[in-house]
């Protein structure tokens, strides 16, 4: 898993959902044990769940019509004199075309990868290491980009689960969690088009989402 950072917080669990209502988003949340098919019941009813490739592709179709001609934009690669200009033009033109699309205002939920990284005795919870999930689609590689993600993330299990996880953690077990992120696109930069730094010529689409809610799910 691509771990972007190890994030730590000491604090109490918020009583309600970690939402952004004129204040900073709270990164300390309960660690839930929910079956994957029950995830929609956890979320607001107007949320579009963007986890499966098909749902992600339909979302991009609604927002931006059709995939870019990646080969034409890439040309001869990063050293091609016109490469950067073509990429800039692609992003500018696509931004202008999205202004009146209903999908621009959708509430969306996507997943990042997570792993419990350290137990905090005082908070009775685990700090969380996080990293993006990559989705191979007909639009290219898709990676959701969360904005305003808290600098500190901590998952708080219930007492029974906590003791079980602590025993596993002390034995060196790797404990993975799903980071469930819900929010809305940032209108000024709803989609960022780029190229993968790991595979030459591979198109990369990054929906930029202002996060309003965080949930942690233990992977069974």
| pLDDT tens readout for residues 29-71 | 999 998 878 899 989 999 999 999 999 999 999 999 999 999 9
How confident is the model at residue 200, as a pLDDT? 87
Confidence band (pLDDT; 50, 70, 90) for 6? Answer: very low
How confident is the model at residue 10, as a pLDDT? 30
User: Quick check: 88 pLDDT over 50?
Assistant: yes
Share of the chain above pLDDT 90, in %: 70
Confidence band (pLDDT; 50, 70, 90) for 79? Answer: confident
| pLDDT tens readout for residues 176-197 | 999 999 999 998 889 999 999 8
Return the residue matching tokens 């819900």: 182
How many distinct structural domains can be found in the chain? 1
Residue 79: give the domain boundaries: 5-13+20-218
How confident is the model at residue 219, as a pLDDT? 74
User: Quick check: 153 pLDDT over 70?
Assistant: yes
Confidence band (pLDDT; 50, 70, 90) for 21? Answer: very low
How confident is the model at residue 82, as a pLDDT? 85
Q: Can you give 111-162 as a three-state secondary structure string? A: EEEEEEEEEECCCCEEEEEEEECCEEECCEEECCEEECCCCCCEEECCHHHH
Mean pLDDT to the nearest integer, 67-88: 89
Kindly give the pairing relationship between strand 203-218 and strand 145-147: parallel
CA distance 122 to 12: 10
């Amino acid at each position: 898993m691509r771990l972007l950072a190890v994030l730590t917080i000491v604090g109490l669990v918020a009583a309600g959902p970690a939402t952004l209502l004129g204040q900073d988003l709270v990164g300390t949340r309960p660690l839930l044990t929910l079956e994957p098919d029950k995830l929609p019941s956890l979320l607001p009813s107007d949320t579009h769940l963007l986890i499966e490739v098909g749902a992600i592709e339909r979302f991009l179709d609604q927002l931006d019509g059709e995939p870019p001609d990646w080969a034409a934009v890439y040309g001869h690669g990063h050293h091609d004199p016109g490469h950067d200009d073509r990429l800039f033009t692609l992003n500018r033109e696509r931004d202008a075309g999205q202004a009146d699309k209903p999908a621009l205002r959708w509430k969306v939920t996507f997943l990042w990868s997570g792993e419990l990284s350290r137990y905090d005795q005082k908070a009775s919870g685990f700090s969380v290491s996080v990293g993006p999930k990559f989705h191979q689609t007909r639009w290219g590689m898709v990676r959701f980009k969360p904005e305003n993600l808290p600098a500190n993330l901590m998952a708080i299990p219930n007492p029974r689960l906590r003791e079980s996880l602590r025993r596993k953690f002390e034995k060196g077990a790797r404990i993975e969690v799903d980071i469930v992120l819900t929010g809305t696109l940032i209108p000024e930069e709803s989609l960022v088009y780029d190229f993968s730094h790991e595979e030459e010529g591979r198109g990369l689409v990054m929906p930029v989402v202002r996060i309003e809610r965080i949930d942690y799910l233990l992977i069974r």
